[in-house]
Amino acid sequence: MSRPRPPLWRRAISIMAWYWREFFGENAYDKYLARHHLAHANARAAGLAHEPLTRREFYRQLSESTPPRGCC
């Protein structure tokens, strides 16, 4: 038995929210966690993996490493 599809307006809002998060980088930490989890899977199994950065540490590191953009 399949579930009924959500209304069109709900799908539209979901799509707009996804684009918003992509455009403004709000999902950067989520992507980092997924990448970290995949990259350190073998090390984690051997007990050698390090913990991922916290959200605060991640964004601090990101803001310090990104060169300012602009005309000057």
Do 17 and 38 touch, CB atoms closer than 8 A? no
23: how many CB neighbours lie within 10 A of its CB? 8
Residue 4 lies in a domain: no
For residue 66, pLDDT beyond 90: no
Total-model pTM: 0.60
Taking the C-alpha atoms of residue 48 and residue 41, their distance in angstroms, rounded to an integer, is: 10
Cα-to-chain-centroid distance, residue 3 = 28
> Does 18 reside within a domain?
no
Is 9 a member of any domain? no
The confidence score (pLDDT) of residue 17 equals 92
Cα 41 to chain centroid, rounded: 18
The yes-or-no verdict on residue 71 having pLDDT over 70 is no
Q: Establish if 72 belongs to a structural domain.
A: no
Q: Which two tokens stand for residue 19?
A: 């684009």
pLDDT by residue (tens digit) across 11-61? 999 999 989 988 888 888 999 899 888 888 777 666 766 788 899 998 888
Q: How confident is the model at residue 72 (pLDDT cuts 50, 70, 90)?
A: very low
**Domain range enclosing 58:** 27-66
Kindly state whether residue 17 falls inside one of the protein's structural domains.
no
